[in-house]
């Protein structure tokens, strides 16, 4: 992400409104999904949906932090370094969580299709929550390491100063660059390898199966969906490169290019992801539609009763 607050007021206002509105829309969609999960106990004992909810909550936090940072770069030129570190660490943790969660979801589908008799014993609720804690730990350690490097290479007075809250301004040492390269290679090598192996194993199982081939085919599509989602997530890693290439060709439109790249590579994937999962999963879509159609019906019924009550009071007052 590369933000600037040198835009004209009208342009800056439009950009921030678009980002904030999209952030609210994504949060509302994710909020509906989380409420559906919380209100239906049938999902609480299924490791697949628990992992999915972790992904949704993770994206909600990521969008909230990302949009906050975007707006802050326009509102405050100098922002408290400690608060900036807190926001950046949170955003970095949730950003790194996404591929690990996708790998966990792919492994769960592999066990469900290739080891169906052992799925209930392996993918228990307790083990799923242990995996979630491990996932957040794995995402949190690299983010904290960045802060430790800052503490080791800069004077303590740095944290009492105001800075432009943009990650490259905060983490700009050689150690940060080397650490970032190593972490990204390790993360995505592990995730891609996991997705490829689980997909190959599920395809082999589907070809060898004589019974529930439809279930195996659906699992194949799920792994492919994970791969597509990972590609969308990886777009955010190539944002600086896209900015560099496009700005070199169109230097006059620097601000517009950085905004569009941020919108396409960071915001759009988080809008598409929950819609694909919730609509594609028939069980989840069914409960979500039933729950919220019931809410709408109750709301309409309440409004109707209110109108009848008000009309009856009006009639009585006229008679009096």
- What CA–CA distance (Å, rounded) separates 197 from 201? 6
Which of 83-87, 124-128, 132-136, 265-269 has the lowest average pLDDT?
265-269
For residue 173, give every residue at least 6 positions away whose Cβ sits within 8 Å of its Cβ, in sequence order, or none: 149, 150, 153
Q: DSSP E strands: which ranges in the chain?
A: 79-80, 162-163
What is the pTM assigned to this prediction?
Answer: 0.80
Residue tagged 């809250």 (tokens): 165
Q: What is the mean pLDDT of residues 164-178?
A: 81
Query: What residue spans define the domains of the chain?
Result: 9-280, 283-320
**What single-letter DSSP state applies at residue 162?**
E
CA distance 109 to 89: 31
According to the model, what pLDDT value does residue 295 have?
56
Per the CB < 8 A criterion, the answer to whether 198 and 109 are in contact is: yes
pLDDT digits (tens, 9 = 90+) for 245-278: 888 888 787 888 888 888 887 888 788 777 777 6
pLDDT recorded at residue 256: 83
Contacts of 134 (CB under 8 A, 6+ apart): none
What residue ranges in 73-205 does DSSP mark as E strands?
79-80, 162-163
The pLDDT, as a whole number, for residue 316 is 40
* CATH code for the part of the protein at 9-280: 1.20.1070.10
pLDDT at 205: 77
């Amino acid at each position: 992400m590369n933000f600037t607050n040198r835009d004209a007021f009208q342009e800056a206002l439009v950009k921030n409104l678009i980002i904030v509105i999209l952030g609210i829309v994504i949060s509302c969609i994710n909020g509906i999904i989380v409420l559906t999960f919380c209100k239906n106990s049938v999902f609480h004992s299924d490791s697949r949906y628990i992992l999915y909810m972790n992904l949704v909550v993770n994206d909600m936090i990521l969008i909230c932090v990302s949009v906050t940072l975007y707006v802050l770069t326009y509102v405050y030129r100098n922002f408290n370094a400690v608060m900036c570190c807190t926001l950046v660490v949170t955003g970095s943790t949730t950003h790194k969580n996404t591929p690990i969660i996708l790998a966990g979801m792919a492994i769960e589908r592999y066990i469900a299709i290739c080891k169906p008799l052992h799925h209930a014993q392996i993918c228990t609720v307790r083990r799923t929550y242990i995996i979630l804690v491990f996932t957040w730990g794995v995402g949190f350690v690299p983010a904290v390491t960045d802060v430790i490097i800052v503490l080791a290479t800069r004077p303590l007075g740095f944290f009492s100063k105001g800075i432009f809250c943009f990650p490259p301004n905060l983490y700009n040492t050689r150690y940060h660059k080397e650490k970032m390269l190593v972490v990204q290679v390790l993360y995505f090598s592990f995730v891609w390898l996991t997705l490829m192996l689980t997909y190959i194993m599920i395809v082999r199982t589907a070809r060898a199966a004589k019974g529930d081939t439809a279930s195996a085919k659906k699992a194949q599509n799920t792994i492919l969906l994970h791969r597509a989602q990972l590609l969308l997530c990886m777009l955010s890693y190539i944002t600086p490169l896209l900015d560099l290439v496009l700005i070199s060709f169109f230097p006059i439109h620097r601000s517009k290019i950085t905004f569009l790249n941020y919108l396409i590579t960071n915001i759009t994937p988080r809008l598409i992801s929950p819609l694909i999962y919730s609509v594609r999963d028939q069980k989840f879509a069914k409960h979500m539609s039933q729950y919220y159609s019931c809410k709408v019906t109750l709301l309409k019924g309440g409004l109707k009763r209110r109108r009848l009550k008000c009309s009856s009071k009006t009639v009585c007052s006229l008679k009096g």
